[in-house]
A and B are shown apart, each in its own frame.
Chain A
Amino acid sequence: MWPSWVHKTQREPHTRAIPVWFSDLYRSRSPTQTMAYVSMGEAHRRITDYLNRFSDAISAQNAAVLRRLLAVTSDSHLLLSLADSLNVVQDTSRLVKQNEKWSQYGEMLVPLLRALQCYRIGQLVDSYSAFEKFANAFIQEFRNWETAWALEALYVIAYEIRVLAERADRELALSKKTTEKLKGAGSFLMTFFGKRPKACWSFVYHLELFKIYFKLGTVHLCRSVIRSIETARIFDFEEFPSRDKVTYMYYTGRLEVFNENFPAADQKLSYALSHCNPDHEANLRMILKYLIPVKLSLGILPQGSMLDIYNLVEYRDIVRALRRGDLRLLRCALQENEDRFLRSGVYLVLEKLELQVYRRLIKKIHVIQKHKDPSKAHQIKLEVIVKAMNWLEIEMDIDEVECIVAMLIYKNLVKGYFAHKSKVLVLSKQDPFPKLNGKPVSS
């Protein structure tokens, strides 16, 4: 069920979910500086320095160096100061063409520099467009190289494409224009990897595509991505690094939640949870956000402490309602977090927990009656249930209660029978509240 380390004591929360393999790149984030004054000479120096690094990295086939130079959104000191310089020098394409060492990569360098420059001054739309041009040129070159040494640089490019597109869309939305950049990023990645994928880096593109499709809301397009992964013979799932497997299971698990295939969703999300690095709390939280409703509908409740550790407050009241048999609390909790639940697509799942709440309420009444008079405990007057509902400020007359009881018996949530004339629910003496056994409740 829940891995043991999940219940460990509270740790400091990370502020955002950062993909593992960028940890070195993106942790060295400098605080955003205001544009520093740079002299013309110094600006030239920095730019030529960068151009040299870029060309040398390619000649030396050094992916580790190269990828640092491409991470536009990493806000590294190097790139920020470079961008300041670019804004001073302005005509960088002329500069690039001056030296043959750099001009051979002109198709890549010119748009890349432009992307950095625009990013620095907050023009995200232009930055994205330029970066896409760069990516295109880079990929052409990549195909010509004999080995796939620049794989890690491609990871970074895929990531940057998505993030820049997201930010560009935000800029577009602010000026009330159509947000089309993320969609374009999706198509770009799709057409790119559509052609004969090289070994396992295309799997990374699949993952970036998932993220894009989820963000865009075109989740049905994920099906084609999944199909291509499952049918491609070059992919052996087990060989992939753990982090990619977790990401994949996370997204496919979420799809199962949308499609209400709970046993499948449970399996996939649980896999993601148990294979996720315990230090990455933000990722854990994302997985749990979807796994908890799935588990709840299978009748498995998380411990309260887990909700606290991962800051999943929205589920607190729901779990409480399930434990107490408190229908009013369940409904309130659903209403309070309605927007959040609707957006993540779990609202309809949580609504059906009502059945379990009814069951728990009747169970509680049974327990109370056992204390009072064990011999008659198994007979529950329907009036008592009506009173309990009224006490919870829920209007329910005795006919409705009878129908609900009939339904609970039919669905095997309660064992017994109801006697219409005497308006009594008679519980079976043996095991009146059968366990749910991990099967989804509403079937």
Chain B
Amino acid sequence: MNRRNKDDHRSDDPSSSSSASNSSRSYLNRDKPSHKNPNRIIPDSTMATQGWRGRRPDAAESDVPLNRANSQRFRLQGQHDDDDEERGGCGSDPRFIVGTCPFMCPEKERLQRERLRDLAVFERLDGDPARTSSDLAVKKFCRTISMKDIEASDVRPLPVLDRTLNYLLDLFDSSDHPFVTVHDFIFDRTRSIRQDLSMQNIIGDQAISLYEKMVKFHVISHHKLRKCATKGPPTSPMHHLNMEQLIKSLASLYNLYDINRKLDCDCENEAEFRSLYIFLHLGSQGHNHIMGESLSFWLSRLPPSVIRSKEMLFARTILRLYHVGNFWRFFYCISKEATYLQFCMIETCINEVRAEALACINHGGYKLHPYPLKLLCEILKMKESDLEYFCGLCGLETSVDEMGNRVLSLKQTSFSHPKGGLNTYDYSGLEQLMREMKI
């Protein structure tokens, strides 16, 4: 079976870079695995057409035990583009596979990759690039050519996927390897998990829990990759790809929430995960239309219980403060209410807001009353040394007043928005946010 992936080179170590500081707890595993059975849709014999191209393979041709029970109406969406590519031309197969593979990696693939020495660092037994074991190998993501080639033994059922994800996320905090390596591995393997979930059209509580964990992975990676950017090789392609998959996973997760709502299940984390979507619209790089839809429109379709939740109100407040330009309260609210996940998403535009703040103060202030940096630090949540450096990037000079305090002189004409927005500065009080993350 041809499982070659064009990203083969990823399994080698990238050039060495110092490991980023990792927070030591495995917050990604904070949810206990659900003990409820996954909810599958009761058989509905009508196959609603969804306008998929491609023809269905005849029952006689394929030897895969197909599950006719799942109605196509309740389908994991949001990965349509991916699905079409991943499934190849036969996009319209509404009969979903039931996976039987008991390992994190199907046996066939494991043996093949061993032979070809296509093993990631984490998969190598005793560091040997040609040996692995069923405890270490994890199924790789691969764009499938056609659904006909997929066998049930290649697809992992839900309990195995759950186990696999937990194993992967335990690696997230590993400090033995540079973060980009860790991220890359988990990025690829979780994508494969999502592929397996989608192929089997698994919906229900456990699926939601898996998706939530994967979204968390992408969000926190989003934050950590920014930090890596200043130290190692430029990682913006990786950053961009991560964002892409973040959005896709969010879309699938929201779809699951919608489906589960119809089944009258309440998802306790829904509010927080919905709020992340709002933050995607912040900043000049913020996507104005995600998946072809404006934010106003997306909001208009949310159920009232979600819209009025604490997390969503916070997100909407931040969006308003951003657009109105009230930077004082913007930082104040973040420090007061943001969860760590929310902070990671907002972080993208924080430097932009800081620059705007400097622009406002520089523009409107009285020349003879320079602005004390200490106060600015409190407002913008930065260390004084970072703030000075940042002012420099904005073309602004700082000086010392007669009392020995550092101040920002005003009405400088040299202001400009800093280019290269990948720098991160410590956010004062971030430790507080992280401490409050529920374990």
Contacts and interface: CB of A to CB of B under 8 A. Distances in A.
Contacts of B320: 348, 351-352, 354
Nearest to B357: A403
A231 interface: no
A229 to B, nearest CB: 19
Nearest to B407: A420
B238 to A, nearest CB: 29
A343 B300 CA distance: 4
Interface stretch (B7-15, B83-91, B124-132, B364-372): B364-372
Contacts of B420: none
B425 interface: no
Given A178-B73, A342-B307, A410-B360, A355 B324 contact: yes
Contacts of B319: 348
B136 interface: no
A420 B365 contact: yes
Given A219-B297, A351-B320, A410-B359, A403 B307 contact: no
Given A259-B294, A351-B320, A403-B379, A411 B325 contact: yes
Interface string A394-438: 000001100111110111000011111110001000000000000
B329 interface: yes
Given A354-B320, A418-B366, A442-B324, A407 B299 contact: no
Given A260-B294, A348-B299, A339 B304 contact: yes
Contacts of A347: 296, 299
Interface string A344-358: 111111011011000
B21 interface: no
A399 B368 CA distance: 18
Given A354-B320, A403-B328, A409 B363 contact: yes
Contacts of B297: 217, 219, 258, 345
Contacts of B295: 348
Contacts of A220: 292-293
Contacts of B361: 403, 406
Nearest to A183: B48
A76 to B, nearest CB: 35
B327 interface: yes
A345 B326 contact: no
A352 B329 CA distance: 15
A180 interface: yes
A342 B297 CA distance: 8
Interface string B280-322: 0000000011001111110111101001000000000001100
B296 A348 contact: yes
Contacts of B363: 406, 409-410
B324 A352 contact: yes
Interface in A297-344: 338-339, 342-344
B56 interface: no
A409 B357 CA distance: 12
B293 A399 contact: no
Q: Which of A339, A406, A409, A411 has the most C-beta atoms of chain B within 10 angstroms of its own C-beta?
A: A406
A339 B301 CA distance: 11
Nearest to B371: A420
B300 A403 contact: no
Contacts of B289: 259
Contact of B293 (A219, A339, A344, A426): A219
Nearest to B327: A403
Interface string A257-299: 1111000000000000000000000000000000000000000
A430 to B, nearest CB: 17
B40 to A, nearest CB: 17
B296 A346 contact: yes
Contact of A417 (B292, B307, B365): B365
Contacts, number: 112
Contacts of A355: 324-325
Interface string A222-262: 01000000000000000000000000000000000111100
Contacts of A345: 294, 296-297, 299-300
A349 to B, nearest CB: 8
B261 interface: no
Contacts of A260: 288, 294, 296
A253 to B, nearest CB: 14
Nearest to B319: A348
A223 B404 CA distance: 61
Q: Which of B293, B295, B297, B375 has the most C-beta atoms of chain A within 10 angstroms of its own C-beta?
A: B297
B62 to A, nearest CB: 29
Contacts of B302: 342
B25 interface: no
B3 interface: no
Contacts of B360: 403, 406-407, 409-410
A343 B297 CA distance: 8
A343 B370 CA distance: 47
A399 B364 contact: no
Contacts of A405: 364
B294 A399 contact: no
Nearest to A404: B326
B251 to A, nearest CB: 14
Contacts of A257: 296
Interface in A117-175: none
Nearest to B49: A187
A287 B369 CA distance: 50
A422 B366 CA distance: 10
Q: Which of B325, B327, B332 has the most C-beta atoms of chain A within 10 angstroms of its own C-beta?
A: B325
A442 B325 contact: yes
A421 B294 CA distance: 44
Contact of B369 (A223, A258, A348, A421): A421
Given A345-B297, A409-B363, A426-B366, A403 B323 contact: no
Nearest to A358: B324
A418 B48 CA distance: 64
Contact of B48 (A180, A352, A410, A426): A180
A350 to B, nearest CB: 10
The 9 closest A-B pairs by CB, nearest first: A409-B364, A419-B366, A403-B328, A345-B296, A220-B292, A406-B360, A410-B360, A420-B369, A406-B364
Given A257-B296, A352-B320, 4 more contacts: A399-B375, A404-B326, A417-B366, A421-B369
Interface of B: 48, 73, 288-289, 292-297, 299-302, 304, 307, 319-320, 323-329, 332, 357, 359-361, 363-366, 368-372, 375, 379
28 contacts: A180-B48, A220-B293, A223-B292, A258-B294, A259-B289, A260-B296, A342-B299, A345-B297, A347-B296, A347-B299, A348-B299, A351-B320, A352-B324, A399-B375, A400-B329, A403-B326, A403-B357, A403-B360, A403-B379, A406-B365, A410-B360, A416-B364, A419-B366, A419-B368, A420-B365, A420-B370, A442-B324, A442-B325
